[in-house]
Structure 1
Amino acid sequence: MTSNHLVIAVDGPSGSGKSSVSRAVADRLGVGYLDTGAMYRAVTWWCLEEGVELEDRDAVAAAARDIPLEMGTDPTHASVLVRGLEIEDAIRTTRVSEVVSKVATNTKVRPILQEQQRELMDRIATQTGGVVAEGRDITTVVAPHADVRVLLTASVEARLRRRSKELHGEAHDEAVEATRDQIVRRDADDSTVSQFTQAADGVHLVDTSDLDFEQSVEAVLTVVRKEAAHKVDA
Structure 2
Amino acid sequence: MTAPLTIAIDGPSGSGKSTVARRVAERLGIGYLDTGAMYRAVTWFCLDTGVDLDDEEAVVAATERLPLDLGTDPGAPTVLVGGRDVSREIRTTEVSTAVSRVATKQRVRPVLQRLQREEMARIAVDTGGVVAEGRDITTVVAPDARVRILLTASEEARLRRRSTELHGSADAAAVEATRDQVVRRDRDDATVSQFAEAAEGVTLVDTSDLTLEGSVEAVLDVVAAAGGPGD
TM-score tier by shorter-chain length is: over 0.9
Aligned residue in 1 for 2:124: 125
C-alpha separation in 1, matches of 2:171 and 2:152: 22
Calculate percent identity across the aligned residue pairs.
66
Deviation at 1:83, TM superposition (A): 1.1
After superposition, where does 1:213-224 map in structure 2 within 5 Å?
Answer: 213-224=212-223
Say whether 1:199 aligns with 2:201. no
Q: Distance in 1 between matches of 2:230 and 2:40?
A: 33
Q: Which amino acid aligns with 1:154?
A: A
The structure 1 segments of at least 4 consecutive aligned residues displaced by more than 3 Å after TM superposition are none
1:169 corresponds in structure 2 to 168
| SS across alignment from 1:99 | helix
In structure 2, the partner of 1:92 is 91
SS in 1 for 2:185: helix
Contact 2:17 2:151 in 1 (8 A): yes
Contact 1:69 1:80 in 2 (8 A): yes
2:44 maps to a residue whose letter is W
Structure 1 residue 4 displacement after superposition? 2.0
Alignment match, 1:110: 109
**SS where residue 126 of structure 2 aligns?**
helix
Mapped to 2, the partners of 1:228 and 1:64 lie a distance apart of: 37
Q: Which stretches in structure 2 are left out of the alignment for 5+ residues?
A: none
Contact 2:9–2:134 (CA under 8 A) maintained in structure 1: yes
Deviations 1:66-100 (A, max 9, x none): 00000110000020001111001000000100010
- The residue correspondences of 1:17-32 to structure 2 (distance < 5 A) are 17-32=16-31
The two structures have a TM-score, normalised by structure 1, of 0.97
List gaps (5 residues or longer) in structure 1. Answer: none
Could you tell me how far apart the structure 2 residues matched to 1:204 and 1:45 are? 33
Counterpart of 2:135 in structure 1 is: 136
Quick one: which amino acid aligns to residue 208 of structure 1?
A: T
Equivalenced residues, count: 231
What residue identity is the alignment partner of 1:59? Answer: A
Q: How far apart, in 1, do the equivalents of 2:227 and 2:11 lie?
A: 21
For the Cα contact (< 8 Å) 2:220–2:230, is it kept in 1? no
Q: Counterpart of 2:130 in 1: which secondary structure?
A: strand
- Alpha-carbon distance in 2 for matches of 1:198, 1:72: 30
Asked if structure 2 preserves the Cα contact closer than 8 Å seen for 1:148 and 1:228, the reply is: no
Q: 2:43 maps to what in 1?
A: 44
Q: Distance in 1 between matches of 2:25 and 2:183?
A: 28
Q: How far is 1:188 from its partner?
A: 0.3
Q: Deviations over 1:176-212 (max 9, x none)?
A: 0111111000000001101011000000000000000
Is residue 2:39 matched to residue 1:9? no
Q: CA deviation at 1:228?
A: 2.2
The 8 Å contact of residues 18 and 134 in structure 1, kept in 2 or not, is answered as yes
Q: Aligned-pair distance for 1:3? A: 4.5
- Partners of 2:201 and 2:165 lie apart in 1 by 31
Deviates more, 1:62-71 or 1:2-11: 2-11
> Within 2, Cα distance between the matches of 1:108 and 1:228?
36
For the residue of structure 1 that corresponds to 2:151, the secondary structure is: strand
In structure 2, distance between residues paired with 1:204 and 1:147: 11
Q: What's 1:81 paired with?
A: 80
Q: SS of the counterpart of 1:149?
A: strand
Name the aligned partner's letter for residue 125 of structure 2: T
Q: Secondary structure at the match of 1:98?
A: helix
How far apart, in 2, do the equivalents of 1:96 and 1:228 lie? 39
